[in-house]
């Protein structure tokens, strides 16, 4: 009975002209970050004035509009979301959609720097699971990558605090860049094997302009799997659901699972169910889109909830992008939006 009531509350997802449903929204709550990961942000980044950021109430209204239009999963990201001071209030507000059954997943991606301090508050605010980014266990490599000398131990403490708070299973994301941290792949696999956390390796992508991306820097998902399999034998797993972005593998000795996200070498535009809300309320239908749809103007112009929902439907019903399927060395030079702004 409870289940039927919840199912009845779920709106049917919107479908674009290619038949792709919008079920997953990634929301950037700040463009600021306490790290300067060299593959993501430049040390000379300028940030938006605070008045341009969506307020808590605006974020809540827009997220609720997505949920009303069939979104099943909300991921809060940035920038570094945990640097935003009123974030717990946002989670407390959004978790009502979990309670009603309209939303299936409310989650967060973080660099882990503030996680040891905030893990319990996140759990209390209604969060079920989190994803933590960690690119190496080697301090020299990690500090060079985060560019602010942040040590590995403090991220590991954050991961432990999240596990103790019950934010599980925890996903650990490692972006692999050739010649920078690819020597850390096997050590990361060994460290997290048997922990219950799911380590996922992400191909280095051509997002933004500040990272000077080149195809030669990409370590392919195939190569990553081969390297781990040589030491820790692996076997493939079925996806958890159709269109899952990470390809799943498990250790043959039963000590856990890993994933690879082949965003560059195996484009998944065809099954993409994502939409992104930028820090200042622009809606982007692709990580590689160059223009967004200004929802903040609608909000601040006095639009009703119904008008907001109609605007979301209007954007999705015209969605045509499939950047990763047409990626070439030429497209890498096209104008792009930085990941910290659009939401990683
Ligand atoms: N600050 C949070 C964090 O570190 O997880 C959230 C934002 S961050 C932009 C989200 C994710 O995007 C991180 O896992 C990061 O490693 C990944 N990312 C950033 N730039 C990337 C790139 N060029 N290629 C692949 N992943 C990237």
Contacts 24+ apart (CB under 8 A), 211-217: 211/38, 211/39, 211/40, 213/332, 214/332, 215/264, 215/329, 215/332, 216/178, 217/177, 217/178, 217/179, 217/180
| Tens of pLDDT, residue by residue, the chain (344 residues) | 344 455 446 788 888 888 888 899 999 999 999 999 999 987 777 899 999 999 999 999 999 999 999 999 999 999 999 999 999 999 999 999 999 999 999 999 999 999 999 999 999 999 999 999 999 999 999 999 999 999 999 999 999 999 999 999 999 999 999 999 999 999 999 999 999 999 999 999 988 777 788 999 999 999 999 999 999 999 999 999 877 889 999 999 999 999 999 989 987 788 888 899 999 999 998 888 888 999 999 999 999 999 999 999 998 888 877 767 766 666 666 677 777 777 66
Q: Which two tokens stand for residue 224?
A: 């990553």
Query: Could you tell me if 244 and 237 are in contact, meaning their C-beta atoms sit under 8 angstroms apart?
Result: no
* pTM more than 0.85: yes
Is 278 a pocket residue for ligand 1 (Cβ < 6 Å)? no
How far is the C-alpha of 253 from the C-alpha of 163, rounded, in Å? 23
Query: Is residue 204 lining ligand 1, measured as CB closer than 6 Å?
Result: yes
**Closest ligand 1 atom to Cα of 39:** 23
Answer whether 141 contacts ligand 1 (Cβ < 6 A).
Answer: no
Interhelix angle 56-68/87-100, nearest 10 degrees: 20
Cβ–Cβ under 8 Å, residues 191 and 137:
yes
- Asked if residues 287 and 25 have their Cβ atoms less than 8 Å apart, the reply is no
Q: 139-153 b/e with 16+ CB inside 10 Å = b? A: eebbeebbeeebebe
Regarding the beta carbon of 280 and ligand 1, being less than 6 Å apart is answered: no
**Ligand 1 center to 303 CA (angstroms):** 33
- 93 C-alpha to ligand 1 centroid (Å): 25
User: Is 33 close to ligand 1, i.e. is its CB under 6 Å away?
Assistant: yes
What the block records as the tokens of 269 is 């535009």
**In this structure, what DSSP letter does residue 170 have?**
P
Q: Which atom of ligand 1 is nearest to the CA of 80?
A: 1
- Regarding the beta carbon of 136 and ligand 1, being less than 6 Å apart is answered no
Q: Is 103 in the pocket of ligand 1 (CB under 6 A)?
A: no
Helix, strand, or coil (residue 24)? strand
């Amino acid at each position: 009975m409870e289940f039927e009531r919840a199912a009845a509350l779920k709106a049917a997802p919107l479908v674009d002209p290619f038949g792709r449903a919008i079920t997953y929204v990634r929301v950037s709550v700040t463009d600021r970050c306490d790290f300067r990961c060299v593959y993501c942000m430049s040390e000379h980044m300028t940030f938006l004035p605070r008045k341009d950021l969506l307020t808590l109430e605006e974020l809540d209204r827009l997220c609720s509009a997505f949920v009303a239009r069939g979104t099943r999963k909300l991921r809060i990201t940035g920038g570094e979301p945990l640097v935003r001071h009123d974030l717990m209030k946002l989670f407390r507000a959004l978790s009502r959609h979990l309670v009603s059954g309209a939303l299936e997943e409310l989650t967060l991606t973080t660099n882990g720097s503030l996680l040891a301090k905030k893990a319990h508050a996140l759990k209390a605010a209604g969060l079920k699971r989190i994803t933590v980014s960690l690119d190496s266990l080697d301090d020299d490599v990690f500090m060079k990558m985060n560019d602010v000398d942040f040590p590995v131990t403090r991220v590991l403490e954050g991961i432990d605090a999240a596990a103790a708070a019950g934010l599980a299973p925890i996903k650990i994301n490692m972006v692999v860049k050739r010649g920078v941290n690819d020597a850390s792949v096997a050590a990361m696999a060994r460290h997290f094997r048997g922990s219950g956390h799911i380590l996922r390796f992400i191909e280095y992508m051509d997002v933004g302009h500040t990272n000077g991306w080149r195809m030669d820097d990409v370590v392919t998902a195939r190569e990553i799997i081969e390297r781990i399999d040589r030491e820790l034998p692996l076997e493939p797993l079925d996806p958890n659901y159709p269109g899952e972005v990470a390809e799943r593998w498990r250790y043959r000795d039963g000590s856990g699972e890993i994933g690879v996200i082949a965003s560059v070498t195996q484009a998944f535009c065809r099954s993409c169910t994502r939409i992104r809300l930028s820090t200042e309320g622009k809606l982007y239908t692709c990580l590689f889109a160059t223009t967004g749809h200004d929802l903040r103007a609608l909000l601040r112009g006095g639009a009703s909830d119904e008008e907001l929902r109609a605007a979301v439907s209007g954007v999705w019903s015209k969605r045509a992008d499939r950047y990763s399927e047409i990626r070439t060395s030429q497209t890498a030079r096209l104008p792009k939006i930085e990941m910290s702004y659009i939401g990683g």
